[in-house]
Amino acid sequence: MGRRLKFLQKLAFLGQNHRYKALERDEVETLIDEQCELKAIEREKTVAALPPGEACKCSREELARAFHVDLDSGLSEFAVAQRRLVHGWNEFVTDNAEPVWKKYLDQFRNPLILLLLGSSVVSVLTKEYEDAVSIALAVLIVVTVGFIQVTDLLVDESSFTGEVEPCGKTDSPLAD
Angle at 80 between CA 78 and CA 84, to 5 degrees: 115
| Digit-coded pLDDT (tens) for 114-157 | 999 999 999 999 999 999 999 999 999 999 998 888 776 666 66
Q: Which residues does 81 contact at the CB level (< 8 Å), separation at least 6? A: none
Separation of CA 70 from chain center: 22
Q: What is the mean pLDDT of residues 150-170?
A: 64
| Digit-coded pLDDT (tens) for 50-72 | 788 888 888 888 888 888 788 88
| Digit-coded pLDDT (tens) for 1-20 | 556 555 555 544 444 444 44
What CA–CA distances, in Å, run from 154 to 98, 105, 135, 147? 20, 22, 29, 14
As a whole-number percent, the residues of the chain with pLDDT over 70 amount to 57
Q: Which helix (H) or strand (E) holds 14?
A: none
| Digit-coded pLDDT (tens) for 73-128 | 888 787 787 777 777 787 766 666 778 888 889 999 999 999 999 999 999 999 99
Report the SS3 class of residue 168.
strand
Whether 49 and 87 have beta carbons less than 8 Å apart is answered as yes
Angle at 74 between CA 68 and CA 76, to 5 degrees: 85
